[in-house]
């Protein structure tokens, strides 16, 4: 990985073509492009020679964006669909399938899948991930945590990885304490599936307060009824000090409320400084399966939450596991779904997977702006509409001013050549 001193001739969302200067992992200047052609071949790419000793990336034809962050992943489950294949496709069936499979896996197996998924995220442009990780009831209960700590350590040069321990209602408090001691960063859980939702919500907040951590809970991942979790959560954390992480993932139920209920939810979330993470690809897959007419989308009312002053982010949640058999580990896919399913404009959709996600995760601001961390995604595109509509393959990823991934589409000749020692006859289609 090479440090970058300048990105030359790159496009910005406002239409300008600029040179972006980087020092110490931070963007120090963004000025009108003055760099002439810096490659004889004329193709944009990485490791281009500029001034003597300088590392210059030729950004011509690329658009510079804030690198995405994934605010809600389950890397310990990722890539397990082929081994689990749940008989049903709703949330309950997915939970049962995962728990049956989880007893068969060891730390190394979890590590291998999680590492593959994490590297795919980086390749697609993501430089920060928050992953929820289950505790286990058989064998070493912390094997998932240990596997993800190993991934975090090995990929520390290319990825910021936050680990949330998923505490179930049957997990004793000492198990959660051990997970934090083993390297988890935040307390998490899904109280809405516990027998006593309010009591479990308070127990998890008690643990976070005892251990001095933030909290990221799965909140109201259902469409009907009201377990009182949202109110219990916001009431308890409203008095927390500014900057202490408190996040509500999913919040599907808010999308089923009327306008008055949605406004009240937004007021409670905003007043308690709770960030919301919407997860379109997974909740579109899991929710609304019993509704044959006007099938709900399973998303919170993102626009209403934003208008109500709530900090909102978006992520993919599960990728190719019992909770979602598809997904590309690509924030551009999430942004596209926000445009289609949440009816957001493209700028807002991109904000939710980049700056909004970083805000919810408590990360410093990044992007092609002086003073911000040089976590950047360069995409070969003329505008954000091209990025979200086409998900171009040509991408260069910078984390703290260093290139951590660079890739380009490859055009191949599909026909056999003479060098293959085979004869090939091309026949015209009838």
Cα–Cα dist 407/338, whole Å: 26
Tell me what percent of the chain is helix, strand and coil, each rounded to the nearest 5: 35, 25, 45
The per-residue pLDDT for 28 is 99
Cα–Cα dist 365/372, whole Å: 6
CA distances from 31 to 9, 55, 125, 232, 370 (A): 10, 17, 24, 49, 10
Comparing 240 with 39, which gets the higher pLDDT? 240
The neighbour count for residue 60, using CB atoms within 10 Å, is 20
Cα–Cα dist 7/64, whole Å: 9
Name the helix (H) or strand (E) containing 26.
strand 26-32
Whether the predicted pLDDT of 264 surpasses 60: yes
Q: What angle do CA 357, 82, 80 make, to 5 degrees?
A: 40
Find the length of the chain. 430
Whether the predicted pLDDT of 230 surpasses 70: yes
pLDDT tens figures, 345-370: 999 999 999 999 999 999 999 999 99
Whether the predicted pLDDT of 423 surpasses 80: no
Helix (H, G, I), strand (E, B) or coil at 32: strand
Helix (H, G, I), strand (E, B) or coil at 311: coil
Q: If you average pLDDT over every residue of the chain, what do you get?
A: 91
Cα–Cα dist 371/22, whole Å: 10
User: What are the structure tokens assigned to 379, written together?
Assistant: 């995409």
The per-residue pLDDT for 422 is 46
Nearest-Å Rg of the Cα atoms of the chain is 23
The neighbour count for residue 292, using CB atoms within 10 Å, is 7
- Which residues are paired to 26 by β-bridges? 23, 373
Whether the predicted pLDDT of 243 surpasses 90: yes
Percent of the chain with pLDDT strictly greater than 90: 78
Helix (H, G, I), strand (E, B) or coil at 161: strand
The per-residue pLDDT for 274 is 98
Whether the predicted pLDDT of 427 surpasses 60: no
pLDDT tens figures, 180-227: 999 999 999 999 989 999 999 999 999 999 999 999 999 988 777 776
pTM of the model: 0.91
What confidence tier does 428 reach under pLDDT thresholds 50, 70, 90?
Answer: very low
The per-residue pLDDT for 182 is 99
Residue carrying structure tokens 């939702």: 197
What confidence tier does 392 reach under pLDDT thresholds 50, 70, 90?
Answer: very high
The per-residue pLDDT for 372 is 99
The per-residue pLDDT for 418 is 56
pLDDT tens figures, 2-59: 899 999 999 999 999 999 999 999 999 999 998 554 443 344 454 444 556 789 999 9
pLDDT tens figures, 144-178: 999 999 999 999 999 999 999 999 999 999 999 99
CA distances from 227 to 55, 279, 357, 384 (A): 56, 20, 27, 40
Residue 29, C-beta contacts closer than 8 angstroms, at least 6 positions apart: 19, 20, 21, 370
Check if the beta carbon of residue 404 is closer than 8 Å to that of residue 410. Answer: no
Name the helix (H) or strand (E) containing 209.
helix 197-211
Q: What is the mean pLDDT of residues 97-119?
A: 96
The per-residue pLDDT for 52 is 61
pLDDT tens figures, 283-310: 998 887 777 777 778 899 999 999 999 9
What confidence tier does 411 reach under pLDDT thresholds 50, 70, 90?
Answer: confident
| Domains and their CATH numbers in the chain | 6-66+368-407 (2.30.40.10), 69-360 (3.20.20.140)
Residue 405, C-beta contacts closer than 8 angstroms, at least 6 positions apart: 122, 123, 125, 158, 395, 396, 397
């Amino acid at each position: 990985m090479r440090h970058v001193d300048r990105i030359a001739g790159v496009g910005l969302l406002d239409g300008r073509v600029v040179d972006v200067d980087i020092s110490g992992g931070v963007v120090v200047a963004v000025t009108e492009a003055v760099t002439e052609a810096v490659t004889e071949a004329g193709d944009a790419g990485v490791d281009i020679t500029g001034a003597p000793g300088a590392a210059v990336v030729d950004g011509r034809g690329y658009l510079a964006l804030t690198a995405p962050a994934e605010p809600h992943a389950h890397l310990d489950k990722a890539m397990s669909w082929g081994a689990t294949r749940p008989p049903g496709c709703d949330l309950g069936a997915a939970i049962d399938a995962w728990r049956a499979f989880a007893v068969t896996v060891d730390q190394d197996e979890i590590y291998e899948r999680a590492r593959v998924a994490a590297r795919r995220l980086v390749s697609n442009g993501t430089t920060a991930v928050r992953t929820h990780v289950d505790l286990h009831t058989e064998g070493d209960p912390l094997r998932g945590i240990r596997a993800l700590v190993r991934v975090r350590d090995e990929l520390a040069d290319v990825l910021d990885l936050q680990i949330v321990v998923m505490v179930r209602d049957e997990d004793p408090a000492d198990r959660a304490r051990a997970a934090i001691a083993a390297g988890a960063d935040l307390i998490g859980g899904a109280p809405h599936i516990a027998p006593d939702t309010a009591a479990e919500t308070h127990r998890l907040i008690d643990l976070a307060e005892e251990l001095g951590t933030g909290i990221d809970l799965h909140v109201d991942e259902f469409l009907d009824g009201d377990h009182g979790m949202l109110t219990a959560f916001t009431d308890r954390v409203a008095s927390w000090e500014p900057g202490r992480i408190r996040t509500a993932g999913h919040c599907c139920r808010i999308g089923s409320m009327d306008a008055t209920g949605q406004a009240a939810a937004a007021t409670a979330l905003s007043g308690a400084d709770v960030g919301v993470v919407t997860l379109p690809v997974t909740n579109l897959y899991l929710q609304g399966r019993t509704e044959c007419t006007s099938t709900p989308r399973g998303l919170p009312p993102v626009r209403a939450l934003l208008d109500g002053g709530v900090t909102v982010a978006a992520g993919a949640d599960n990728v190719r596991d019992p909770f979602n058999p598809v997904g590309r580990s690509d924030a551009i896919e999430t942004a596209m779904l926000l445009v289609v399913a949440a009816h957001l404009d493209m700028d807002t959709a991109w904000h939710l997977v980049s700056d909004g996600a970083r805000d919810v995760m408590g990360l410093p601001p990044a992007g092609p702006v002086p003073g911000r961390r040089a976590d950047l995604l360069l995409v070969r595109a003329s505008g954000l509409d091209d990025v979200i509509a086409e998900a171009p393959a040509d991408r260069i990823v910078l984390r703290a001013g260093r290139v951590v991934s660079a890739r380009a589409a490859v055009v191949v000749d599909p026909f056999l050549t003479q060098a293959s020692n085979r004869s090939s006859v091309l026949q015209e289609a009838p």
